Structure formats: C-alpha cells, structure tokens
A and B are shown apart, each in its own frame.
Chain A
Amino acid sequence: MTSISNSIAIRADNLVKSFGSLRAVDGLSLSINKGEVFGFLGPNGAGKTTSIKMLCGLLRPDSGQVHIASNKLKQSIGVCPQSIVVWENMTCIEQLVFMGEMYGLSHRKAKINGIELLGVLGLASKTNSLAKNLSGGMQRRLNICLSLVHEPEILILDEPQAGLDPQSRLLVREYINSIKSKITIILTTHDMDEAEKLSDRICIIDHGKTLITGTVDEIRKSIGKGDIFEVEIDGKVKDDLMPLLKTVLKSVRIEDEHTIAFVAEDSQDTILELMTVIRSNNIVLRNFKMRIASLEDVFINLTGRRLRE
C-alpha cells in the first residue's frame, strides 16, 4: 500500500486475488475521491468483501496495487466489517477507548470520541453495558462506532445495514449522511435502495470484475434512454411469445411467470405495438406499470440476472 497526494483518497490498480481455483477479484481498478460516498454494489459472492480487505490492507493482493492519500496510513482507514466484531466481555465505552488507544489516541480523547459516537448512534444508555448484553442491532451500531473512534479519513462500511431493524437502519443512514463530505466513505452493499440513497458514485461488480462505475444517474442512463415498463398478463408468459415481443420491444425480459419488463424511449409507439401483439395472441392484460430505471435494472441488463439471485 503506497501513498498518493491529490484529490483521490484511495485508488486501486488492477487488483487480483484468488483463493485456490476461485478468482474472487479479477483485475479490479477504481479510484475514490476525497469526501465522497462510494457505493460498492454487487450480489453476494461478487468479491466486495475481498476487495475491501485488500483496500484496507487486511489482505495482500496476488497482483495489483492500492494507493492511499495519507501519510498516516494506520489512522487513515476505519473498517466496519460485515459481521459483528466486538469484544463481548467489554463495555461499550471500554472497547471504544481501547480501540482509540490502539490507534494512538490518548485515553481522554478516545473516551470523548467514544461517548460522542455512542450518543450519535443511539447507544448512550448502553455506555457501560457489556457488548454481549446488547441486542443484535445495538451490537451492529457499536460495530460502526468502533470503526470511527479514531477519526479515520476513510471509512469502509461493509454491509452496514445488514441485520438492522428499521429504526437502527434510519439512524445509521442519517449518521452516514451527516458525516459524508467530512470523510471518504466506501459502502459495500447488495441493497440497491440503500446504495442509491447514500452514494455519490457507485461501482457495480460481479465475479470480481467491475461492471460499471459512475453516479446513480449515469448508471441508470447506461441501459438507454426511456422508462421501464412492466406488463402483467393473465396466464403464463410462454416462451413462444418472447420472439414476437422482441420484434417490437427493446431489452425485453421476463420478470416472473406472469410479467415482462422492457425499456421504451418512445413509449407511445412502443405501447401501441405491444398492444397489437397482445391482442393478436389473445392475451388478457392484467396490469401495466411504468417506472424509472433502477440499479437493479442496470444489473439485470449487465448480467442477465438479479442482484439477489
């Protein structure tokens, strides 16, 4: 891991990591600007966590390099792992002070930071409770506190909202929004909604490779102009219907056994053509929806499958 000194907080060049015959990360390159929230989106097993481990220095890449824009490497990164990693037999404040001291903070400073974080993330009443006595959601929030107590310049949040109740989810989201622009945040998730709401830029990866990088709007536009239409029919979408639909519709796909979806730029003409096909095949229309393209649509467009599959 080496340092860089410009507007880029962290840069990865052609990272490769294999575990036996499995290539978990395959030539990943990205560059994250200072003060932005960078969403790292991909299905389970896409290589997000492995990439994160290489970015923060927990895992040595087989090849490639990570550049980081800080002279104080050890203090510059805070990592909130996907699983709950807390010291069960220590109180919340004890472990925050301990973690701060491990990063070179004085006992006093670590305690001030710890108390502040516990307050912001709704754990003030649990300051002196043992971590093992906290609920799962509280432990997840403590997990986040531990990654922030030493005031890192780069915060890596690996699936921070996984396992959180709606209330905690909102609290964490508000907190991330409140600190964005002050520090660089790398957010890994397979929750498109979460990524859209929090990220300035998003990188979608699959099978260890970058599929697309950009702002949410840029990524949405990548599947073409127009909106997404979903057509639900009475009866099953038969295989022989698809070739017919493909003659009139762009990017048509089967959503489920009753539903098809497609992108339409010139919606009026497209819908008329679709109706002609439906009528001529004696298909009964059940439902018709129009919506803007989501990151899920982008992922399906790029990989042919859903993020959660």
Chain B
Amino acid sequence: MKLISFFIKTFTENLRDWKILILALVFAPIFVYLMYAYMNGSGAPAYTVTVLNLDSNGSYSTELIERWRKVANAEGKTVLSVQMIDNAETGKSRIKNKSADLFITIPSDFSTSFSKYLSERKRPLSALVSYGDPSNIKYLMAASFCDYTSFGYVGEKTGIEIPLNIKFETAGTTHPQREFDLFFPALLVFSLIMVIFTAAATLIREVEKGTMARLVLSKISPFEMLGAVSINQLIIGTICLLLTYFAGLSVGYHSDGSLWLLFVIGMITCFSVIAISLITAYFIKTMFGLLTVGCFPFFILMFFSDCMIPLPKFKILSIFGNPVYINDVLPTAIATRAFNKILNYNAKFSDISFEFLLILILSILYFAIGVILFKKKHMST
C-alpha cells in the first residue's frame, strides 16, 4: 500500500518537475543524432583520402585515382572520399588536424614507370607514398582499401597475378554495418545511465526539502520507499531506452537481434544504475550537489562503459571461459557488450547468459549497498 502510494507520488512529481525528466529522456536520442552526424552516418563510412598527384599528365595515375573513387561497400555506396591537393604541406596538415585519414603522394614518374614496365617489363614501378596518423583507426582502414585497390589495378594492367585475394566481410548480422551501427548499442546503455539523475533527484529532493523527515516519522521502510522509486525509475529507463532505440531506427539502424532480450538486459541494467544512484545519494544532500558531485559517477559510467570512445580492455580473469575485464565492475560496461552481441551479432539468451548473470549479481550487490548507505545517511535517527 505504502509502496503504491509512494510510487504514485514520485511518478506525479517526476511528471510535474519535467525539466530533469525531459533532460533524461531526450539526452540520449539527441546523442544518437549527433553521433550519426559525426560518423557521417548518412551512408557508408567515408574515409577521406587526400591525393597529391605529381604525375598529373600521366594516364595511369588518373585512372588509379578513379579506381579509388569507385571503391564501394556491399550496398554499392562509395567508401573513399578522394580529395585532390597540390602540395605536400596541405596533405600533412590535413592528416595532423584529422580532416583527412590518408594522404597519398603519386610520384611524377608513376605513369612513365608503368609504361616502361608494360613495354620493357622493367621493374620496379615508382612507389606510392602513404602518409597517415597511426592513432587514427580510420587511417588503417583507408590505407587498406587503397592498397588493395592499387594492387588490383596494377595486376589488371600488367597481368601480374596477385598471389592472394582478400574478400572483406563484416562481423555480425548479414546486412552491412556502418561505424555508427557498431557504436549504437553503447548509446542505448547511455540512455539508461541518464536515469542516475532522475533517480538520485527523486531521493535528494526529499532530503533537501526536509520531507524525508516526515517520511522517516511515518516509519515508511527503506524497502517500500526505494522499491517505489525503483519501479518509477524503471519506467523512465524503459522510455529512455525506447526513445533512443527509435532514434536509431530513424537514422537507418537495423537489427535482427531479439528485442525482448534487449529489454530484459536493459531493465536489469537500469536497476543497477538506480542502485548506483542510491550510493551517489549517500554522498550528497542537495540538488546542487547532485548536479556537481553527481556528475562524477555519471562520467565514470559513461566513459568506462564505452559510451563515448572504445577503451582498451584489461582482462583480469576468466570464468567458465568467459573473459572478465577490469571495467566489468560497472554493470553498464557489461550491458554494452551484451547489447552489442544482441543487436549486431544476433545473439540468443544462451550467448549472453554470462553477461546477464554478471549484471544481475552486480545490480543486486550495488542495490544492497545503496539501500544500506541511504538508510544510514538519510533514514536513520
């Protein structure tokens, strides 16, 4: 009875104090559109290649550049965005400021050496020079596409048989995956992390306004109070997840993965975020504190759950053949992995049962810690 009354009260308050609610609901979907735009998500991943053609009068270099322009993915969309420049400084500068992923210099004698080889079979061909930033993942991809295309072109023109053919395939579902698609599961987890603010705000508001004292006097149990808050926040989490998922669909995201499995994992992950918000509420007493100190756990969850950038993973142990990484202490990090498996690799429950168990155990553990801390700080005399 008290649990239901408290649930209705907090739900009503959340709707009326709509600013934080709106922030929580729309932040992740907006991020979906931002990341989509940032990752050039309108088509295939476009790798920007700047080309300095010192052999501008040569037919072979012009033809090779056209081949690079035509490199396409399985959907037929071009992969490389080739931009011509007229000096090496510009090319290097673009690599350094990341406005280009690869800078290729075609030497002035490229076509001459090609012709000489075709007529006299005299090697070697003049060397193409690739320049890029190894810390840019896109550099390696662009270089790979260009190299393979170049070898194919040379083989076709010279009749030299390439000793090895490579077929590019992508992991996961059968449809072609964009860089955005691989990042999308993390954005779904990000939508759940936003619940940390609404959950903590619901509790901190009671502390800050002094109404917690009224609740303590009424002898409401922590289970009734925090249970009601959790149900309320699970509903908000579900809406966050749905809105973010629909935002993904609106920009062409497609998955054959199980949606019910996605929501089961989503709900226990949301529960773990609520638990972390209880722990957060132990350290703060005011809404100002929530928006300052409370940002710390938010950023920890966001960054170490791969929601911003993929981080290197440090394996600490293996359980029944399943690797456990150091950032798996955060249930949201495991959820990112599970979401990725479900959505992009069409995983069944058996494929993610380890992640499911791990998130569940961590959620229960954190919730128990959160309840104890919250009760000690805000509900005891």
| Interface presence of A179 (CB below 8 A) | no
What residues on B are CB-neighbors of A58 within 8 Å? 213, 216-217, 381
| Interface presence of A86 (CB below 8 A) | yes
Name A236-287 residues within 8 Å CB distance of B: none
Candidates B16, B210, B218, B381; contact of A102 at CB < 8 Å = B218
Docked-complex contact B16 and A85, CB < 8 angstroms:
no
What residues on A are CB-neighbors of B219 within 8 Å? 74
C-alpha spacing A279/B381, complex, angstroms: 63
| Interface presence of B42 (CB below 8 A) | no
| Interface presence of B116 (CB below 8 A) | no
Interface size class of A (residues with CB under 8 A): 20 to 34
Map CB proximity to A onto B197-222 as digits: 1 under 8 Å, 0 otherwise: 00000000000011101111111100
What residues on A are CB-neighbors of B16 within 8 Å? 89-90, 130
C-alpha spacing A83/B211, complex, angstroms: 11
B150 CB, nearest partner CB in chain A, Å: 66
A129 CB, nearest partner CB in chain B, Å: 13
What residue in chain A is nearest B13 (Cβ atoms)?
A: A89
Docked-complex contact A85 and B209, CB < 8 angstroms:
yes
> Taking chain B's interface residues, is the majority helix, strand, or loop, or is none over half, making it mixed?
helix
Q: Which of A93-101, A112-120, A165-173, A185-193 contacts B (4 or more CB under 8 A)?
A: A93-101
Docked-complex contact B9 and A98, CB < 8 angstroms:
yes
Docked-complex contact A102 and B13, CB < 8 angstroms:
no
| Interface presence of B12 (CB below 8 A) | yes
Docked-complex contact B217 and A77, CB < 8 angstroms:
yes
| Interface presence of A88 (CB below 8 A) | yes
| Interface presence of B2 (CB below 8 A) | yes
Docked-complex contact B9 and A85, CB < 8 angstroms:
no
Docked-complex contact A101 and B213, CB < 8 angstroms:
no
What residues on A are CB-neighbors of B2 within 8 Å? 101-102
| Interface presence of A47 (CB below 8 A) | no
| Interface presence of B144 (CB below 8 A) | no
Candidates A79, A87, A150; contact of B211 at CB < 8 Å = A87
Name B282-339 residues within 8 Å CB distance of A: none
Docked-complex contact A98 and B5, CB < 8 angstroms:
yes
What residue in chain B is nearest A82 (Cβ atoms)?
A: B210
Candidates B1, B210, B211, B381; contact of A101 at CB < 8 Å = B1
Q: A57-B217, A74-B219, A102-B220 are in contact. Are A85 and B12 (CB under 8 A)?
A: no
What residue in chain B is nearest A78 (Cβ atoms)?
A: B217
Docked-complex contact B211 and A86, CB < 8 angstroms:
yes
C-alpha spacing A88/B215, complex, angstroms: 15
Map CB proximity to A onto B1-21 as digits: 1 under 8 Å, 0 otherwise: 110011011001100110000
Docked-complex contact B12 and A101, CB < 8 angstroms:
no
C-alpha spacing A246/B262, complex, angstroms: 89
B220 CB, nearest partner CB in chain A, Å: 6
C-alpha spacing A88/B209, complex, angstroms: 9
Highest count of chain B CB atoms <10 Å: which of A89, A102, A130: A102
| Interface presence of A37 (CB below 8 A) | no
Highest count of chain B CB atoms <10 Å: which of A58, A77, A81, A101: A101
Candidates B1, B210, B215, B217; contact of A56 at CB < 8 Å = B217
What residues on A are CB-neighbors of B214 within 8 Å? 79, 85, 99, 102, 146
Candidates B5, B13, B216, B218; contact of A87 at CB < 8 Å = B13
What residue in chain B is nearest A150 (Cβ atoms)?
A: B218
B205 CB, nearest partner CB in chain A, Å: 9
Candidates B8, B17, B210, B217; contact of A83 at CB < 8 Å = B210
Docked-complex contact A102 and B17, CB < 8 angstroms:
no
- List 7 A-B residue pairs with CB atoms under 8 Å apart, sorted by A's residue number: A57-B381, A58-B213, A58-B216, A85-B213, A94-B12, A101-B5, A102-B5
* Given pairs A58-B217, A102-B2, 11 additional interface contacts (CB within 8 A): A58-B213, A58-B381, A74-B217, A74-B219, A87-B209, A89-B16, A101-B1, A102-B218, A130-B16, A146-B214, A150-B218
Residues in chain A within 8 A of chain B (CB atoms): 56-60, 74, 77, 79, 81, 83, 85-90, 94, 98-99, 101-104, 130, 146, 150
Closest 10 CB pairs of A and B: A102-B218, A89-B16, A85-B210, A74-B219, A101-B5, A60-B381, A89-B13, A98-B9, A103-B218, A89-B17
